[in-house]
Chains A and B, each alone.
Chain A
């Protein structure tokens, strides 16, 4: 036994051991990447399923339609007249309209300075109080005046107004419904949701005069397309790569494709043939967006506050009209309204590769860990190597009873300085 230990110690000083890490590291990368490419296969991904039974998506009849369409057309005319006006003028016009529906309205000013730009504006929001409820929980419907591509939300805003008018007639809401109208899709929702949770800087973002209860979910409408649509694009990426609960995406998907017969697309995959390549592309796009961590829509700012949110964006050329989109939102709100507990059942870490296939963290994590492990292995190897005397000084072969190999002085000032400088430089984008 002691001899075995001694030989193991001897092995540690073997120069061949030091040659091993690059190969080991390469092996990790190869296995990790290969694993990643296996994920889209049927054997390695799973079909999505609704984990929270209370949601019951697509189980209710939706009644939005009929003469609501006449109202929608009128609101659309109203909104069309406002195009080109300033933010305050728009709010001045929409505020009495919302009040006329019997909702409580309020406004909020915000000014952000970031990356050399100033983002200022005024949010308008209206609260439909749950008819029999107590202000303990709320669901949010966001309709930004402009989407992330700076197109005017021509159909989204009037649709949201019509929906609120329709929701007011029902007595079954157990949660308040908040309609949030923001001038843009990034700064406005951010200011509002920050102020809702009192995480704002009062000198730049004003506090909210009226509040409701805990936010249980949010749906953003991005409906700038003028013509009829064919499918709905679900945008789900939050800031810093955070994702909403998978149950929310599944519910929307279930309602849109299962109940309404509307196609569903993810990650800007307008065509998806359910083949290996399309699945892989969807998954990689999702990973890329998560990696960048940028806000992808009005819903993104909600996710850091543990409010599950998605943006729905109709696209394509089909025969579905605005009422169908309204019914999708109605169905989703009915599902969220059923929730007794905050969404917690399903996954928060997942990669979607098709509208009904995903890989969960347990399946994709080994691949990511293997790729990450290669850096650690190489780092340790390089550290050890840097501590050894250079080749030129130690030409004598290690004999049996030699003194332990001397460690060389590591000059750390330059590398640490470079790392610190690079980290410090990250301040620059905030001001330039």
Chain B
């Protein structure tokens, strides 16, 4: 009986130990494939796991990566967002960004976090700890995010997680636009996953393919999530989004050189009158390609990760239902009711392969082959104006494609201190509108609110946040001028003539259906709660600012030159300084001086005679 009881106790314990965390701590992963126009393919990898806050605080991490968890605990981080990005999203042809732009960063590395601290100093100290620790963990130069690159955004970022209180929470934001994201950042990223890169969708990730993508971004988001009636959980979400060029990805790795195809394999437009065996007008480049998973990623999908939640299908594909897709044996297709996507249940331990043949060559292939991309809420493009080494300007073109709705957003720039902006030149004007900017009534004002924190030389950068709007179906130009300051000799990097990277501007589109009660342009509304209202986030490309660079061999020349001059002058000057002058009749007569004087006198006499004659 006793034995039985103890067995019962053990089984109850076991049940508690294994099932109760499983309620709070789960893990799932999903790969979303979406063919885009112009033979591109968007692959979104999403890995998400939860751990209850109490377990996390006890150090029982389960699916949460221990290495990252300990750093977060040590640095008092309540919410963390880290981005590694490369390339640019071509909104004109690809449409809206995946996740509405919430899971991407500007080129390079971006980090923002909410730290718990009582004072700014303490927050800065914790931030330093955090950046240095993450730098080691992710093999990135995050430790270079120092005071000059750190800002405290006022309007742009709002916490994604549920925090009981926002007092004592400090938001810090740092960005490294010149950081080159590469394989050494991918490896630690994959190590954080429960199945590493060995099984599940992560087995498709490979540095060669990922970093050959036209656009890719790796994101890590850690946030507390509280649902009513349950214990709060700490959620870590790892996302990789990449846009692959199908042509380029299909090229075999052992022969990556894009040699021209043999003449008979070149797709030609045979309707041209001059078409012949040696003359070929190439057929449309954007024609839809056939592809398969292993062609694109270089290897098939290796089963599923055994830890993943079986309820979530691991692979989804967004193509119109009319298109046929072939999958390997054992996989189930489940079409979603929206008619443009389908998901696959795949066998846990077998390789999964998927192939998309060319769409039937019916008349209108563009609409039947790929899902038409969604129009983004806003298009943005930023470039430099002006030239020369002294002044410059920045121009951002913001276009609202919607025919009937305003777009309101926060435009944030973090500029290095050596770009001194002239805030009075900040202008917003609607293209084709001759009226002077900002002269109209409050209601029509483009710029609603400006938050500006000027730079301090060598200590902190400029932070500029502008809350503004773009009227429907119009284009707004935002321009400002700046002055380039001259750096000290030692402040230049080794590749000084390359120029200095300026981080991407972050544009956060405010959800129009949120916070209506706040009132127009009242500061506390905008500063306080944009909370979870970012309808769309986008980032411009980064810029390269060329500063006046000295001739770096010049100090050497100057040293040589001044040394020579001093050596020559020193003798003479020293001689005059230490010599005591006495009148000739006071000094002693005789010696060589007398002889020389006589000779000199004779010479002078001769010269005089010559002058007079």
Binding site for B on A (CB under 8 A): 3-4, 7, 10-11, 14, 63-71, 73-75, 77-78, 100-102, 104, 129, 131-137, 165-166, 168-171, 197-199, 210-214, 305-306, 340-342, 344, 400
Contact = CB atoms under 8 A, between A and B. Distances in A.
A146 to B, nearest CB: 24
B499 A214 contact: yes
Nearest to B600: A4
Contact of A198 (B90, B393, B607): B393
B491 interface: no
A198 B477 CA distance: 14
Contact of B259 (A3, A66, A344): A66
Interface stretch (B95-103, B338-346, B380-388, B571-579): B380-388
Contacts of A3: 601, 604
Given A74-B280, A100-B286, A67 B260 contact: yes
A102 B286 contact: yes
Nearest to B261: A67
B213 A136 contact: no
A71 B281 contact: yes
Contact of A131 (B38, B245, B604): B245
Given A70-B279, A340-B495, A341-B497, A136 B245 contact: no
Interface of B: 38, 86-88, 90, 92, 107, 211-214, 245, 247-248, 257-263, 265-266, 272, 274-275, 278-282, 284-286, 381, 383-387, 393, 395, 495-499, 501, 541-544, 546, 549, 600-601, 604, 607-608, 611-612
Given A74-B281, A101-B285, A7 B607 contact: yes
A168 B286 CA distance: 12
A104 B92 contact: yes
Given A71-B266, A104-B92, A131 B495 contact: no
Nearest to A167: B258
B280 A136 contact: no
A171 B212 CA distance: 7
B185 to A, nearest CB: 15
B263 A70 contact: yes
Give the interface centre of A7, A66, A171, A344 by most chain B CB atoms within 10 Å: A171
Nearest to B286: A102
Given A7-B611, A171-B248, A400-B612, A70 B544 contact: no
Contact of A10 (B90, B495, B608): B608
A337 B87 CA distance: 16
Nearest to A211: B383
Contacts of B383: 135, 211-213
A69 B277 CA distance: 11
Nearest to A64: B260
A198 B285 contact: no
A264 B261 CA distance: 31
Given A137-B544, A166-B258, A197-B386, 8 more contacts: A63-B260, A66-B261, A67-B280, A70-B263, A77-B272, A132-B214, A213-B541, A342-B546
A75 B544 CA distance: 36
B285 to A, nearest CB: 5
Contacts of B211: 132
Given A63-B257, A100-B284, A131-B248, A136 B544 contact: yes
Contact of A66 (B212, B263, B495, B501): B263
Nearest to B551: A344
Among A65, A137, A342, max chain B CB count under 10 A is at A342
B385 A197 contact: yes
B282 A165 contact: yes
Contacts of A342: 497-499, 546
A171 B245 contact: yes
B89 to A, nearest CB: 11
Given A68-B260, A71-B281, A129-B88, A199 B544 contact: no
Contacts of A341: 495-498
A354 to B, nearest CB: 28
Contact of B260 (A66, A101, A210, A213): A66
State the main secondary structure of chain A at its contact with B: loop
A81 to B, nearest CB: 9
Nearest 5 A-B pairs (CB), nearest first? Answer: A169-B258, A341-B497, A198-B385, A66-B260, A74-B281
Contact of B88 (A101, A134, A305, A306): A134
B90 to A, nearest CB: 7
A10 B611 CA distance: 7
B212 A132 contact: yes
Contacts of B611: 7, 10-11, 14
A7 B612 CA distance: 11
Given A70-B266, A132-B86, A199-B387, A77 B274 contact: yes
A184 B239 CA distance: 50
A344 B385 CA distance: 22
Contact of A78 (B247, B259, B281, B549): B281
8 contacts: A7-B607, A67-B260, A71-B280, A73-B274, A77-B274, A101-B285, A214-B546, A342-B497
A67 B266 contact: yes
A277 to B, nearest CB: 37
B260 A166 contact: yes
A136 B542 contact: yes
Contact of B543 (A64, A66, A104, A136): A136
B87 A133 contact: yes
B214 A102 contact: no
Given A197-B387, A342-B497, A344-B497, A63 B279 contact: no
Nearest to B92: A104
A10 B613 CA distance: 13
Nearest to B504: A134
A289 to B, nearest CB: 25
A134 B542 contact: yes
Contacts of B604: 3-4, 7
A75 B90 CA distance: 27
Contacts of B247: 169
Contacts of B499: 136, 214, 342
B279 A77 contact: yes
Contacts of B543: 136, 213
Contacts of B248: 131, 169, 171
B278 A69 contact: yes
Contacts of B259: 63, 66
Contacts of B265: 67
Nearest to B280: A70
A168 B39 CA distance: 13
A341 B500 CA distance: 11
Nearest to A66: B260
A63 B257 CA distance: 8
Interface centre among A133, A134, A211, A341 (most CB of B within 10 A): A134
Contacts of B387: 197-199, 305-306
A214 B496 contact: no
A400 B611 CA distance: 9
Nearest to B269: A74
Contacts of B385: 197-198
Contacts of B92: 104
Contacts of A305: 387
Contacts of B501: 136
Contacts of A132: 86-87, 211-214
A402 B286 CA distance: 97
A197 B389 CA distance: 13
Contacts of B544: 136-137, 213-214
